[in-house]
Amino acid sequence: MDDRLLEVKSRDPSLYNKDLAPIKHKDRSWGWFEIFNVWSNDIQSLFGYSLAASLFLTYGLNGWAVMAAIILAGFIVMILVNLTGKPSVKYGIPFPVLIRSSMGVRGANFPALLRAIVGIFWYGVQTYFASTAVTLLLTALWGPSEGAGFLGMSATAWLSFVIVWLFQILLFWQGIDKIKIFLNLAGPLVYLVMVVLMVIVWVKAGDQLLPAVSTIFSSAGTTEGSDLAAFSAIVGTMVAYFAAVVINFGDFTRFVRSEREMKIGNLLGLPLNVAFFSFIALMITAGTLVLFGEALTNPADIIERVDSLPLTIVAALTFFAATVGINLVANFIPPAYDLANLFPRVISFRIGGLITAIIAFFVGAFWVSFISQIGIPGFVNALGAIVAPFYGIIVVDYYLVKRQQLDMEQLFSSAPTGAYYYRGGWNVKALLAFAMAATFSISTVLLPSLADLNGYGWLIGAALGGIFYSILVKITGARV
């Protein structure tokens, strides 16, 4: 595409700042390796590993079946992000600007705000998980802290949490290029440490490990079709884990040089990466049951049991790097853009990041004592279900209604005659579609009567959002 088509000559200051402006192709530096490392760090974070490992235990399925479900989820997510990433590769715009075409130039603030809330929650949670790696390191070096803890965390844990929180702000302040370098180093290092940990566990477990994979996780349930339901629930839960990134994938692909490189990065980073990582998680989780008589889903706990100071130091630093890396990319950058989109005149990308960090501090601080009690799968599903309908609305609007053609000038214009002004800046049809779809998808998570659908909330919400929006557009026309 000609970079001259991405120029915005006439713009409303309430909709435009340099952080939201289109990035020209000549100024982009990301390739397939950067996209691959977005996904590598995402699933390889401490939270990602804990979620994957917990799925081997939660649903009572054979370990290989759980692994297959996780891999299938990787393929599904790859297809989903190829669709949402393509517009931003083409036009160089972030998620909150892209969604103006479907929600309206003012209505886009609503999904941006919801996405910011989800991102801030994830940011706080991942900050806590990254801090556990630092706690492990400090404890290995100077021993456990003494005295009563506060909000479920010891003095060492609090010190680690504050260190991680400050480190992330400092790295974010260096800009996207420094974050890219950080990611590219963290991804391969995590794999190296995870493989080493798997080999150690495998050697210690010996010939008991492989039989354990097939028997320890086997289901004891006798309900007809329950295995299939559990398999589907695992797929839905893993898709929901990636949901926040799926929605706003354009925040990353706007930096990518071509659609081809995006697709290669997604293929390597999702189904292939998830397959290898799931195998590692399966072997290690089974090994902990053989070695310790209980399933350990936190790598920090496993390394502590292995009791090797060199491994502890290297693993702690590596898990810290991986968790911080994906936290910045998936949970810091999107809310920063989303908040900047609300008030472009006064909130820059950096100011939006600071607001994100401050609020997320309290989310992470209450994770142990309160938020974690919700349960990891339920927490993932509930957050994902809230924003899911926007996925369907974005895809239907861009591919079927707009026919993959956007007007950059109009995306930054609040003129009543503008292409994306709709009614008062809001696309009422898109808002109605979201309301109907979100009501049902969040109900699958919150209402006991719909418990059988728990785990499918994101997929149902995304599908319904697109279906309802398509129907409303056909009934009343493309414009309101």
Indicate the SS3 state at residue 18: coil
pLDDT at position 422 is: 92
CB proximity list for 181: less than 8 A, separation 6 or greater: none
Of 32, 22, 15, the residue nearest 1 (C-alpha): 22
CB proximity list for 116: less than 8 A, separation 6 or greater: 334, 335, 338, 339, 356
The domain that holds 331 is classified in CATH as 1.10.4160.10
Range of the domain at 235: 14-387
Rounded CA-CA distance 104/111 in Å is 11
Strand partners, 423: 426
pLDDT at position 217 is: 54
pLDDT at position 218 is: 56
Retrieve residue 476's tokens. 């009343």
Question: How many structural domains are present in the chain?
Answer: 1
Indicate the SS3 state at residue 99: coil
Rounded CA-CA distance 198/460 in Å is 36
List pLDDT tens digits, range 378-423. 665 666 678 889 999 999 999 999 999 999 999 999 899 889 999 9
The answer as to whether 217 is a domain residue is yes
Provide the total of helices (H) and of strands (E) in the chain, helices listed first.
22, 0
pLDDT at position 162 is: 94
- pLDDT per position in the chain (480 positions), as tens? 556 666 777 678 888 888 888 999 889 999 999 999 888 877 777 677 778 778 877 777 777 788 888 899 999 999 999 999 999 999 999 999 999 999 999 999 998 888 888 888 888 888 988 888 888 888 878 877 665 567 778 888 899 999 999 999 998 888 878 888 888 887 777 778 778 888 888 888 888 787 776 665 554 433 345 778 788 888 888 887 887 788 889 999 999 999 999 999 999 999 988 888 888 887 887 888 788 877 777 776 777 777 677 777 877 777 788 778 778 777 888 888 889 888 888 888 889 989 999 999 998 888 877 777 766 556 656 666 788 899 999 999 999 999 999 999 999 998 998 899 999 999 999 999 999 998 888 887 777 777 677 667 788 889 999 999 999 999 886 554
pLDDT at position 141 is: 80
pLDDT at position 91 is: 94
pLDDT at position 22 is: 92
CB contact at 8 A, 1 and 26: no
The answer as to whether 473 is a domain residue is no
User: What is the SS3 string spanning 254-280?
Assistant: CCECCHHHHHHHHHHHHHHHHHHHHHH
CB proximity list for 31: less than 8 A, separation 6 or greater: 256, 257, 261, 265
Query: Residue type at 408?
Result: M
Of 332, 328, 278, 281, the residue nearest 302 (C-alpha): 281
Indicate the SS3 state at residue 175: coil
pLDDT at position 327 is: 82
The answer as to whether 365 is a domain residue is yes
The answer as to whether 90 is a domain residue is yes
The answer as to whether 99 is a domain residue is yes
List pLDDT tens digits, range 218-231. 544 333 457 787 88
C-alpha distance from residue 219 to each of 236, 284, 295, 441, 475 (Å): 19, 19, 16, 28, 48
